Amino acid sequence: MKWALIGIFVLIVASAIADSSSEESEEKTKEESEETTNELVLAEPCDEEACQLPNCRCSSTSIPGGLNPRNVPQFVLVTFDDNVNVINVQTYRNIMYGRVNTNSCPAGVTFFVNHEYTDYQITNELYNQGFEIALHSISHQTPQSYWAQATYDDMKLEFADQKIQMSHFANIPYEEIKGVRNPFLQMAGNSSFQVMADYDLLYDSTWPAQIDVNPGLWPYTLDYASTQDCVIPPCPTASIPGVWVLPMVAWLDLEGVPCAMVDSCFHVPNHEDEEAWFRFIVTNFERHYLGTRAPFPFYIHEWYLAIHPAVRRAFVRFMDMINNLNDVFMVNSHEVIDWVRKPIPIDEYKQKPCREFIRTTCPASNCGPLYSTHNQWSAFWMQICNVCPNVYPWLGNPLGQ
Ligand SMILES: *[C@@H]1O[C@H](CO)[C@@H](O)[C@H](O)[C@H]1NC(C)=O
Ligand SMILES: [Zn+2]
């Protein structure tokens, strides 16, 4: 260490002598140290004193703001993954549209949308229903190991570019796009979070929590080291301020085995048994509602409801029930982050105006055949807002120019 320091000292002196202007070398040293600050540093154990809301929170099951559980609004997060198309929108129109919470605000739903085969005109419709459109990558490609090994540049092409792409083709204001979920719930270490920090993406909802289920883990930031169990490694270990983790707190199936998505639970009731499914959902809900009220997840793919009508009916019954409870609120995912940053008790929460969003129109174009660079033999048709692209948009060319 001592010799290294002396070495650097000698170098600085040497360059100062070589350069007649010592100012120039000073500038150089400054530049170099700036680059060093951008490098990742290992996150330290969380310092509760230093890490305070609204911009920092340690990973913890304790209720934000130290509220009494009975004063905490029970948020319910319904999310659907994958592409949005003419088939699955029928389910969304039938069972999600027009729902209202007891505070008279429209119920929220979050769609984690991937690019391929997505109908952007319908995505625009979902956005204009007041739902949240979030990112689920451009390529959603296999194998899963691609995501585990994805570098910063890979994640930039998948998510930073998808934010531009989604905003353009679905005509959604760029800054309204805030959430990310990686395909296959495969974590990618620090890289996806670094990209999120650099491109103003607020929260990630990829990370399953299987240990902190009862009580459930609340959203937290990555300023300090996470204590969350890493189910699908690699998980981030660097300090990445400004990004929130919205953990996927697991359900417990009938045998107590944790599952991050409802459709990935293994020991489940008979798929034809609506009553048993309703009880299954309510049992999981009550773990949150009668506990510390960590946000209750209902994370699913639409196909599961389509092939199991009884499960769908049970889910509708459940939503009808919670839409009538005066301390339960179905919201868009980013609203949970907003609440955690500034936690307020139920009474105050109910006085707040409903979420606002900028309505947009969709100048519709139906485009195709568009030839793809990732698959030379296939032609694609796209339903979009705005003017048609030249080629099928893909990684490295998100607008298909
Ligand atoms: C994340 O960054 C930390 C700090 O630089 C590093 O120790 C760790 O290996 C990185 N994780 C991955 C998966 O690259
Ligand atoms: Zn997916």
Q: With 60 as the cut, is the pLDDT of residue 45 above it?
A: yes
Segment 385-400, tens digit of pLDDT: 999 999 999 999 999 9
Residue 186 lies in a domain: yes
Residue 231 lies in a domain: yes
Residue 399 lies in a domain: no
Give the position, in ligand 1's atom list, of the atom nearest the Cα of 40.
5
Phi, psi (degrees; rounded to nearest 5) at 146: -55, -40
Segment 240-276, tens digit of pLDDT: 999 999 999 999 999 999 999 999 999 999 999 999 9
The CATH number given to whatever domain includes residue 156 is 3.20.20.370
Residue 28 lies in a domain: no
Q: With 50 as the cut, is the pLDDT of residue 35 above it?
A: no
Phi, psi (degrees; rounded to nearest 5) at 77: -110, 110
Give the position, in ligand 1's atom list, of the atom nearest the Cα of 190.
1
Residues 6+ apart with CB under 8 A from 130: 106, 108, 332, 355, 357
Residue 381 lies in a domain: no
- Sorting pLDDT into bands at 50, 70 and 90, what band is 38? low
- Sorting pLDDT into bands at 50, 70 and 90, what band is 376? confident
- Which of 38, 151, 195, 237 for a ligand 1 pocket mutation test, highest count of atoms within 8 Å of Cβ? 237
- Torsion region of 353: left, alpha or beta (phi above 0 gives left; psi -120 to 50 gives alpha): beta
* DSSP result, 229-289: --SSSPPP-B-EEEEEE--EEPEE-TTS-EESSGGG-SS---TT-HHHHHHHHHHHHHHHH
Q: In total, how many domains does the chain have?
A: 1
Residue 12 lies in a domain: no
Distance 249 CA to ligand 1 centre (A): 24
Tell me how far apart the terminal alpha carbons of the chain are, to the nearest angstrom: 53
Q: With 90 as the cut, is the pLDDT of residue 103 above it?
A: yes
Strands 240-245 and 220-222: antiparallel
Which secondary structure element, helix H or strand E, spans residue 321, and what is its range? helix 309-322
- Sorting pLDDT into bands at 50, 70 and 90, what band is 373? confident
335: containing domain: 69-350
Q: Which residues have C-beta atoms less than 6 Å from ligand 1?
A: 40-42, 189-190, 234, 237-238
* DSSP result, 78-140: EEEES---TTHHHHHHHHTTT-B-TTSPBPP-EEEE-STT--HHHHHHHHHTTPEEEE--S--
Q: What does the alpha-carbon distance between residue 61 and residue 260 come to, in Å, rounded to a whole number?
A: 17
Q: What does the alpha-carbon distance between residue 387 and residue 389 come to, in Å, rounded to a whole number?
A: 7
Segment 13-30, tens digit of pLDDT: 333 333 334 444 444 444
Structure tokens at 66: 């130290």
Segment 52-61, tens digit of pLDDT: 999 999 999 9
Average pLDDT over residues 305-331: 98
Residue 368 lies in a domain: no
The bound ligand whose nearest atom lies closest to the alpha carbon of 140 is 2
Average pLDDT over residues 367-372: 94
> Which amino acid belongs to residue 383?
Q
The bound ligand whose nearest atom lies closest to the alpha carbon of 300 is 2
Tokens 């305070």, located at residue:
52
> Which amino acid belongs to residue 297?
P
Q: Whose CA is nearest to atom 7 of ligand 1?
A: 42
Tokens 């229903």, located at residue:
129
Q: With 70 as the cut, is the pLDDT of residue 34 above it?
A: no
Longest Cα–Cα distance in the chain: 85
| Percentage of the residues of the chain whose pLDDT score is greater than 90 | 88
Q: Whose CA is nearest to atom 8 of ligand 1?
A: 237
Which secondary structure element, helix H or strand E, spans residue 74, and what is its range? strand 74-81
Cα atoms in the Cβ-side hemisphere of radius 13 Å centred on 282: 13
Average pLDDT over residues 90-108: 98
Average pLDDT over residues 287-307: 98
Q: Whose CA is nearest to atom 11 of ligand 1?
A: 189
Residue 148 lies in a domain: yes
Which secondary structure element, helix H or strand E, spans residue 11, and what is its range? helix 2-18
Give pLDDT, residue 16.
36
The bound ligand whose nearest atom lies closest to the alpha carbon of 134 is 2
Average pLDDT over residues 314-343: 98
Q: What does the alpha-carbon distance between residue 324 and residue 329 come to, in Å, rounded to a whole number?
A: 9
